[in-house]
Structure 1
Amino acid sequence: MASTNSRFLALKFCVVIGIAMLCNFYSVSAQCGGTPIGDLMSQCFQFVQPPGPKVKPSPECCSAINGADVPCLCKFVTKEIEKMVSMEKVVYVARTCGKDIPAGMQCGSYKVPPPKA
């Protein structure tokens, strides 16, 4: 019985966190314009997940990235987001898609390095 209650509380906690993050995504989308965060997440999440190697993004992901105001979005990256998304992969994906991401730009706690030659 305690196990069931613990699972229910954990699920409830995840739902609350998910709703809070979703509300934050919509707020950020409104402030930064361009591609909505939901579109970026649905099209690009598989390419920016923390585990695993860097993978060339799909054309759909590139379309979403190229429509996004990445410097604006970077201002809203929190530690919670950095737990779910590899900022190194975000920069890789954006640059692979042809988006200019300047070296030295701060994206959450991640400082963007110069592009590799």
Structure 2
Amino acid sequence: MTVLKSNILLLAIFAVAGILFSGDKNMAVGQPCQGHIEGLITQCALFVQKNVPKTIPSPGCCGVIKSVDIPCVCQHITKDIERMIDMEKAVFVVRYCGRQLAQGTKCGSYTVPP
């Protein structure tokens, strides 16, 4: 069962990476999000997944969070991504790592609370 969960998580990480790297058709060509998106996925996925307890992110995750254009990433969060990650945990991780996410900011279909 643990192997199955690990395989599903790995598949989800690659799906998120593909979505983020492929960009949005409404976004201008050549305008990807700045920062280490692959690192964001590999370092932080554990801290934002659904159905696991909320935990404090690792220093590695926070290091990546500090380098990524969070508002840009938020613009590329799709319903498919939201099925895999807990948006409340994602906001917690971003804020814990010292990045500001203003109240009312849209991140996918999620609106950041105060």
- Do these two structures clear the TM 0.5 threshold for a shared fold by scoring above it? yes
Check if 1:84 corresponds to 2:79: no
Partner of 2:56: 56
Q: Please report the TM-score for the alignment, with normalisation by the length of structure 1.
A: 0.74
Partner of 2:38: 38
Structure 2: state its 5+ residue gaps. 1-10, 24-30
Check if 1:26 corresponds to 2:27: no
Q: Deviations over 1:32-70 (max 9, x none)?
A: 1112x2111100000000112210000000001111111
1:26 corresponds to which letter in structure 2? F
Matches within 5 A, 1:12-23: 21-23=16-18
Q: Distance in 2 between matches of 1:34 and 1:97?
A: 15
Cα RMSD (Å): 2.3
Specify the structure having the higher radius of gyration (Cα): 1
Paired residues in the alignment total 98
Contact 2:65-2:97 at 8 Å conserved across structures: yes
Q: Distance in 1 between matches of 2:15 and 2:53?
A: 29
SS at match of 2:99: coil
Q: Please report the TM-score for the alignment, with normalisation by the length of structure 2.
A: 0.76
Query: Cα distance 1:99–1:46, how it changes in 2: closer, same or farther (>3 A)?
Result: same
Q: Which has the higher helix share?
A: 1
2:111 corresponds to which letter in structure 1? K
Structure 1: state its 5+ residue gaps. 1-14
Partner of 2:103: 103
Please list every run of at least 4 consecutive aligned residues from structure 1 whose deviation after the TM superposition is greater than 6 angstroms.
17-20
Partner of 1:66: 66
